[in-house]
Structure 1
């Protein structure tokens, strides 16, 4: 079977379900969102000759992008090396090993850039050791946001004109790719990014991030700050509470990044009646059964549930402490225009 045909065998799992959440609020609910950019990046790399038959794929991931690569690497018969850290869920770890991936765990953060930077340093060593190896580089690869044009087209087909897009920001691929495509047709589209404290993506000082899938300690090239009209930061406790609300209210069994996006989208939709709002929900909740969905584990989470805010506090700068749900009018500005000159990736 030609390589391009092999790479499309998992396409049925890439598209989201479009779920009404009441009024004109809809969820784009994914089985595993990262399958789409992973397949697209590998397909384009194969077409360019960057990924040779049988070559080793190397990537840094502690979440669903690594799982997507493991599924695809097994299908296309590529060895896979994943560099991860303590945030890698033990069940996901076992699944990745069963899929044939080699897992390298980084224990100590780098002096600047935290665990993400340390993982990239370990990844660079593997790329040097393995001749002909290929790095998808989800954070900086322009094929990542480009792949999401397919999702934007599906949203228009199913919902029609979109007034507001809300979603979590990690690599920047999904939100920036979908927003860029939608805005070419709907220039007044309002885009709301969801982040978490201690993430440098929108100007917070770098620190330990305790919410998997949101934010980061390095700034990906795929985060296009000029696509965003406002940014919200939610603490882990607030994301977990929202995840339970989503499950109990709508029966959607999703991960905490989806819950965080739902909380913000519900708030925005309630204040803008009649506006069509789409919120992105990246993955299902199965790997969080022993954490986010476990009452005993939740009881150990700082701030649970006493510090959970029901509405955001509007701030004037992203640089200050954020003990709870906060929002900033971003107004499609560059990061430098908001925080001033400097290296936000450190």
Structure 2
């Protein structure tokens, strides 16, 4: 059996369920979104001779991409080393180890780039010392956004015309890839990226992040800024509140990145009646039972229990401080173009 055939044994778990949330408002709700790009990247690497049978896969991850790699590596006989940090949920870590992954934890942030850069520095050591090792590089591998052509096709088949696509931005693959494919059919598609303050992805000065899977202290090459018409930033407390609202209002037990996207998509849908909106929900909420879904833990979060704004504040520049839900008209521009207008250089955003 070819590696191409083997890699597709988990493909039934890759696609989203389409859940109506309101009139002309749909959620593309994934069991584990990162299974799709992980399989696609490994499959392409095997076809191109970069990933040999039984080889070692090395990656930096504290979330669902690492889990997707662990599921695939266990099934197809690869060794997997994951470099992570303190944000790795203990239940997820236990599951990764059960799947056979070797998990290395870094505890000191790098002076520039924080824990993400510290993880990459440790990753470099493994890649250098292990012959034939392969790095999927989800932040920069063009096969990441390329894989989401499958999601775009499914959405068009099931929804038809889509006026607005909303989703969280981490590696950049899902939103950049899906919107790029959809625009081939719907040039007027309005794409909204969801980020968090202190994330460099859309120009905020780099600082400590308290949200797994959303934002980052290093700018991924797969974030195609020219795909975005609008960007929103939500604080952790706002994200967690929205995650609870999504669960209570629609019965969808999802992770906080889904809650963040839901808050923005519901607002846009409410303010644009008659427009068809699709929002991406990347993963389910099981690994957040002791955090996002635990009231005692929530009491430790700044800004909890609210009150929370019903609408975002429109900011003049993406570089300015954001104490609550904020939005900025990106207008499909590059990061350099936006920061030049804001009077800030690209170096500031790169952290």
**TM-score when scaled to structure 1?**
0.99
Deviation at 1:3, TM superposition (A): 1.2
Between the aligned partners of 1:235 and 1:39, the Cα distance in structure 2 is 32
Question: Which residue matches 1:116?
Answer: 116
Between the aligned partners of 2:51 and 2:204, the Cα distance in structure 1 is 36
Deviation at 1:308, TM superposition (A): 2.3
Question: Which residue matches 2:296?
Answer: 296
1:345 aligns with 2:343: no
Between the aligned partners of 1:345 and 1:124, the Cα distance in structure 2 is 20
Q: Deviations over 1:197-225 (max 9, x none)?
A: 11000000001110111000000110000
SS where residue 5 of structure 1 aligns? helix
> Which consecutive unaligned segments of at least 5 residues does structure 1 have?
none
Deviation at 1:307, TM superposition (A): 5.0
Deviation at 1:311, TM superposition (A): 1.1
Question: Which residue matches 1:56?
Answer: 56
> After the TM superposition, which residues 230-309 of structure 1 pair with which residues of structure 2 at under 5 Å, given as runs?
230-309=230-309
Between the aligned partners of 2:329 and 2:256, the Cα distance in structure 1 is 24
Deviation at 1:294, TM superposition (A): 0.8
Indicate if the aligned counterparts of 2:164 and 2:192 stay in contact, CA closer than 8 A: yes
Question: Which residue matches 1:69?
Answer: 69
Deviation at 1:263, TM superposition (A): 0.4
Question: Which residue matches 1:332?
Answer: 332
Deviation at 1:154, TM superposition (A): 0.1
> After the TM superposition, which residues 125-144 of structure 1 pair with which residues of structure 2 at under 5 Å, given as runs?
125-144=125-144
Question: Which residue matches 2:159?
Answer: 159
Question: Which residue matches 2:184?
Answer: 184
**TM-score when scaled to structure 2?**
0.98
Question: Which residue matches 2:90?
Answer: 90
Indicate if the aligned counterparts of 1:235 and 1:323 stay in contact, CA closer than 8 A: yes
Between the aligned partners of 1:309 and 1:207, the Cα distance in structure 2 is 23
How many residue pairs get aligned? The number is 346
Question: Which residue matches 2:228?
Answer: 228
Question: Which residue matches 2:314?
Answer: 314
Between the aligned partners of 1:63 and 1:303, the Cα distance in structure 2 is 24
> After the TM superposition, which residues 162-177 of structure 1 pair with which residues of structure 2 at under 5 Å, given as runs?
162-177=162-177
> After the TM superposition, which residues 37-52 of structure 1 pair with which residues of structure 2 at under 5 Å, given as runs?
37-52=37-52
Deviation at 1:306, TM superposition (A): 2.2
Between the aligned partners of 1:73 and 1:306, the Cα distance in structure 2 is 42
Question: Which residue matches 2:28?
Answer: 28
> Which consecutive unaligned segments of at least 5 residues does structure 2 have?
none
Indicate if the aligned counterparts of 1:61 and 1:84 stay in contact, CA closer than 8 A: yes
Deviation at 1:173, TM superposition (A): 0.2
Between the aligned partners of 2:2 and 2:227, the Cα distance in structure 1 is 37
Between the aligned partners of 1:308 and 1:41, the Cα distance in structure 2 is 40
SS where residue 184 of structure 2 aligns? helix
Indicate if the aligned counterparts of 2:335 and 2:346 stay in contact, CA closer than 8 A: no
